[in-house]
Chain A
Amino acid sequence: MRRRALAILRYVALVLIATVLLLPIYWLIMSSFRPAGDIFRYAGQFGLETLVPQRLTLENYQQIFAASFPRALFNSLFVCLATVALGVLVNSMAGFAFAVFDFPFKKALFVAVLLSFMMPFESIVIPLYTLMRTLRWTDTYAALILPEVAGGLIIFLFRQFFLGIPKEIYEAARIDGASWWRIYLQMTLPLSGPTIATASLMMFIHQWDAFFWPLVATSSADLAVVQVAIARNMTLEQANWGALFASASTAVIVAAIPFFILQRSYVRVVAVQADK
């Protein structure tokens, strides 16, 4: 009896929380299918018209896809995937070093790694931009990808996870004559599925959300990223709410795809591992 009551309570909580979390996204997507004049017509009240569009239209989506939005989507996807691919490798190696070895300056280096994500970006943007100019990387994909590959937070994430792997299993491999590189590649990484998934998610989201740095570091329309393309729909004199919501909705849905893939797979992997 008590179990049933708890189960029902659990479902009620789940539904309530899901509603709060999904409502604004629902409103965003739903508004993107409204004609321009209707978006705020039923605002401020509450009724069927507020929740469900009276007139549906695809004109907002037609507008953005006829313009440069698809290019922005492509740019962001490319930058995100490149960052993730390089970042997983580079940062997990560093996390491995901190978790497994003892070496001079380890503490100081770790503190430095922590420091690297604690500085407000606005204060380092000017020296970073100067650096891009010196390297002649302004207006290139390199400027968008490379500065974001090494990340203190991701190193920290991998280090935390790798600390939980018992050192004994490495000892056995070492006795067998395995090199540390082989151990990292063939023992540690395969055990780290969920962490790799979460690290990928973090880096993907970080790059997907990037706005100010791409704005400063690149200028040609060919390199515009998705957040800049979305923001262009707002100016002082007016906002193209329809295009804004349509592009924002598209960005949300596209970003959600890697999510759902990753979350299903790692939950299964972790659950299997825990049963071992």
Chain B
Amino acid sequence: MPARRWIPYAFLAPALLGLVIFRFTPICLSLVGSFFGQSIRGDSIFVGVKNYAELLGDPAFWSAVTTTLIFNLIINPFQVVCALALAMLVRRPARFIDVFRASFLLPMTVSIALTSIIWSIMLDPTLGPVNGFLRWAGLPPQPFFRSADQALTTLILVATWKGAGYWMVFLLAGLLAIPKELDESASIDGANAWQRFFGVTLPLMKRPLAFVLVADTAANFLLFAPVYIVTNGGPNGATQLLMFEAYQAAFAFLNHGRSLAISTIILVIILVIALFELRLFRSEDETVA
């Protein structure tokens, strides 16, 4: 819309100021820092692309990339579908629907660190109530986080336990904003439930879905607490996610240059995927990036 030249920037200014000072500057410093190494006395030494070259030649790094991509390929659509399903379930009024809505939201109030601790105890092979229940029901107890086969799946489920209600909030707002008449007239026209969903509901949900998918993608690529607290990347590297590699490089191996290089790579991956997701869900009137 037409406006005086400085008006948009005036609206942007406070947020931009905050982002420049507290995000862009540290991020730029980190990007630059990825081309440096540190001596043990703390001096920065310019090493060019050495950190990146070392990473690209390290099979452990590529293994982490693969694990991370598989993890995200599964968890992102899975969480969005779960969130949408939950939103659809609580959309229409019903008795006690308020109670159900509230109960779906409750996991949000538990921090991801606490979630990891509680679930690691709940799923503990020896002390966990879940295995206690399985034993009581005559079923074999499961290793969950302690088995290379089950660890990643368990991680996905635990992250979804916390995330589904969270993302449901945005999708529910989107669903509730759809005027009832549209659905009703489609119904009168003879459309069945599936046709109404794909023909009426989904197209009107593009913007909330775009937001949830991009935000969830970023959140899942940056997921860290459960790996740090429960699995430590294992068993046998089954949950060795890139974010954890970056963390280990910084705080265990005290190699800040390498950590920053990994973080930069993570940033680029997330951005590329996010831009792709935005295109996928673009509405007509958007000048999307």
Report the stretch among B54-62, B66-74, B171-179, B230-238 that lies at the interface: B171-179
Residues from chain B with a CB closer than 8 A to the CB of A152 are: 19, 23
Residues from chain B with a CB closer than 8 A to the CB of A118 are: 218, 221-222, 266-267, 270-271, 274
Residues from chain A with a CB closer than 8 A to the CB of B267 are: 115, 118-120
Interchain CB contact under 8 A, A150 and B22: yes
Alpha-carbon distance between A45 and B124 when the two chains are bound, in angstroms: 12
Number of cross-chain contacts by CB at 8 Å: 288
Q: Contacts A93-B12, A208-B111 known; A17 to B283 CB distance under 8 Å?
A: no
Q: Which of A44, A109, A115 contacts B132 (CB 8 A)?
A: A44
Residues from chain A with a CB closer than 8 A to the CB of B114 are: 227, 230, 248, 251
Q: How many whole Å from B203's CB to the nearest CB in chain A?
A: 13
When C-beta atoms are compared, the residue in chain A nearest to B114 turns out to be: A248
Q: Using an 8 Å CB-CB cutoff, how does the interface string of B203-225 with A read, 1 for contact, 0 for none? A: 00001101100110010011010
Alpha-carbon distance between A170 and B1 when the two chains are bound, in angstroms: 9
B80 within 8 A of A: no
When C-beta atoms are compared, the residue in chain B nearest to A155 turns out to be: B15
Interchain CB contact under 8 A, B111 and A227: yes
Within 8 A of B (CB), among A4-19: 7, 10-11, 13-14, 17-18
Alpha-carbon distance between A22 and B8 when the two chains are bound, in angstroms: 45
Interchain CB contact under 8 A, A93 and B15: yes
Residues from chain B with a CB closer than 8 A to the CB of A124 are: 23, 26-27, 29-30
Report the stretch among B45-53, B98-106, B145-153, B184-192 that lies at the interface: B98-106
Q: Contacts A163-B285, A270-B173 known; A149 to B18 CB distance under 8 Å?
A: yes
Q: Contacts A160-B210, A198-B170 known; A21 to B165 CB distance under 8 Å?
A: yes
Alpha-carbon distance between A109 and B287 when the two chains are bound, in angstroms: 13
Alpha-carbon distance between A115 and B20 when the two chains are bound, in angstroms: 12
Interchain CB contact under 8 A, B106 and A21: yes
Alpha-carbon distance between A60 and B126 when the two chains are bound, in angstroms: 25
Within 8 A of B (CB), among A114-146: 114-124, 126-128, 131, 146
Q: How many whole Å from B71's CB to the nearest CB in chain A?
A: 15
Residues from chain A with a CB closer than 8 A to the CB of B133 are: 46
Q: How many whole Å from B225's CB to the nearest CB in chain A?
A: 9
Q: Contacts A180-B3, A205-B108 known; A50 to B132 CB distance under 8 Å?
A: yes
A81 within 8 A of B: no
Alpha-carbon distance between A258 and B247 when the two chains are bound, in angstroms: 33
B140 within 8 A of A: no
Interchain CB contact under 8 A, A114 and B128: no
Residues from chain A with a CB closer than 8 A to the CB of B208 are: 160
Q: Contacts A122-B247, A198-B169 known; A127 to B26 CB distance under 8 Å?
A: yes
Interchain CB contact under 8 A, A25 and B14: no
Interchain CB contact under 8 A, B211 and A150: no
Q: Using an 8 Å CB-CB cutoff, how does the interface string of A254-276 with B read, 1 for contact, 0 for none? A: 01100110011011001101110
When C-beta atoms are compared, the residue in chain A nearest to B166 turns out to be: A205
Q: Contacts A147-B22, A180-B3 known; A43 to B132 CB distance under 8 Å?
A: yes
Q: Which of A18, A98, A253, A267 contacts B100 (CB 8 A)?
A: A18
Alpha-carbon distance between A121 and B251 when the two chains are bound, in angstroms: 13
Interchain CB contact under 8 A, A163 and B21: no
Q: How many whole Å from A70's CB to the nearest CB in chain B?
A: 18
Q: Contacts A123-B259, A198-B169, A263-B101 known; A252 to B106 CB distance under 8 Å?
A: yes
Interchain CB contact under 8 A, A160 and B19: no
B136 within 8 A of A: yes
Within 8 A of A (CB), among B24-49: 24-27, 29-30
Residues from chain B with a CB closer than 8 A to the CB of A36 are: none
Q: Which of A170, A198, A275 contacts B173 (CB 8 A)?
A: A198
Q: CB within 8 Å of B: which residues of A?
A: 7, 10-11, 13-14, 17-18, 20-25, 27-28, 40, 43-47, 50, 89-91, 93-94, 96-98, 100-103, 106-107, 109-124, 126-128, 131, 146-150, 152-153, 155-157, 160-161, 163-164, 167, 170-171, 174, 180, 184, 194-195, 198, 201, 205, 208-209, 211, 227, 230-231, 248, 251-253, 255-256, 259-260, 263-264, 266-267, 270-271, 273-275
12 further contact pairs, Cβ within 8 A, besides A25-B106, A115-B271: A24-B107, A93-B12, A103-B8, A119-B27, A119-B263, A120-B243, A123-B260, A167-B1, A194-B173, A252-B106, A266-B173, A270-B177
Q: Can you sample 9 A-B contacts with CB below 8 Å?
A: A25-B110, A102-B1, A115-B267, A128-B26, A150-B14, A198-B169, A205-B108, A248-B110, A271-B176
